[in-house]
Amino acid sequence: MRTTDILTLVKKYGTPLYLYDASLIAKRCRELKRYLPEMDLFYACKANTNKEVMKLIVHEGYGIETVSPGEIAAARGAGVPVSKITFTCGSIDEEELVGVVKQGVRVHLDSLLQVEMFGKRFPGGAISVRLNQGIGAGHHSHVITGGPDSKFGIDIAQLKELDRLVKKYRLRVVGLHQHIGSNILDAAMVAKAMRVLFDTAMAFPDLEHLDFGGGLGVPYKPGEPGLDLAALGKKIAQLSKAFSKRYGRQVAMSFEPGRYLVAEAGMLAVKVTDIKRNPTKTFIGVNSGFNHLIRPAMYGSYHEVVNITHPRGVFEKVTVAGNICESGDVFAKDRMIASANIDDILIIKNAGAYGYTMSSDYNLRPRPREVVIK
């Protein structure tokens, strides 16, 4: 995305402003399909539920993975048929579960209680269950979704209890699901988790699909190596072929990429509103905050910040701070950035995933606008 285009859009729509590069989203979609040709791909829309973004990803041949009735409605609104929507449960009640099942969406049950709720309402039915097999990975403890400290999935030690409920309600386990964490850049870790799920799958004779979750990562820091998709694709093909031979037949397999498709395509444009040169630190104040992009405050996440108004200025060490009345409202701490003036435009990169979707109107400051550049 050219700097002149960004500045033109900022002049038209104001700041703060989320900008998404549609061509880069399409490129990422095609990359995954090229390297994972045998996999069904469901976009984890929690990363970015912008309707135009979802339409673009669906146009590239992806289904949609959802975690709430609202996300199902958004997927339907983007023209996605229920046959291409999945729903991963998490701490839901019976009313929500039944409502989703009755829509015909594939549901991944997350607990023994949910299996029992399903069995009581739909005895003799087919189910998919999410398992916690003790493997977790991710860039922060808050995004690790497997292992003993994770709230997600049925623990592998509870398979006997799962079997008891399956027999009690005459259910068939036709799907297994797992998700180990978010922003994983190590192909070996993904392969390890797949191996473990393949081993577990041997105990389930009626399987129709295996879902390995999402978590495929992107580099946030300049120079940081990305996920080696070629190596991952090769390993996945080997593991899948070996499993099919061992299992005795083919089983549909899927991934749920979210961040990988949209993170790098998005940026948050903000305006410099204050400059505070203290004796030991310089603060650059901007007209946005963690109510618009919470990742740095919540996870300590790194986002590159660039002054696009004066990109060739003298670089100085600054802390880029937001306008929310909280000490933790900081986008970048002690970062070398081109010296800024009031009204300069800064862009916060790699903000296409878990940016606007996690935003709020805290301090009663309105959410930014979103623009998809096609």
Is the bond preceding 69 in cis, omega lying within 30 degrees of 0?
no
Question: What six digits make up the tokens of 168?
Answer: 């009690």
For residue 174, give the H/E element and its range: strand 172-177
Q: Which amino acid is at 192?
A: K
Task: Confirm if 298 and 345 have CB atoms less than 8 A apart.
Answer: no
Cα gap 14→58, rounded to integer Å: 29
Count other Cβ atoms within 10 Å, centred on residue 82: 15
Tell me whether residue 89 is one of the annotated catalytic residues. no
Cross-strand pairs, 345: 271
Residue 105: both structure tokens together: 């969406």
Q: CB-side exposure of 270: number of CA atoms within 13 Å?
A: 26
Evaluated on CA atoms 129, 145, 220, 237, the torsion sign reads negative
CA distance 46 to 332: 24
Task: Give the whole-angstrom CA distance, residue 184 versus residue 161.
Answer: 31
* Strand 126-132 to 106-109 pairing: parallel
User: CB under 8 Å to 327, separation ≥6 — which residues?
Assistant: none
Using DSSP, how many helices (H) and how many strands (E) does the chain show?
11, 17
List the catalytic residue out of 29, 45, 89, 325.
325
> Looking at the annotation, which residues are catalytic?
325
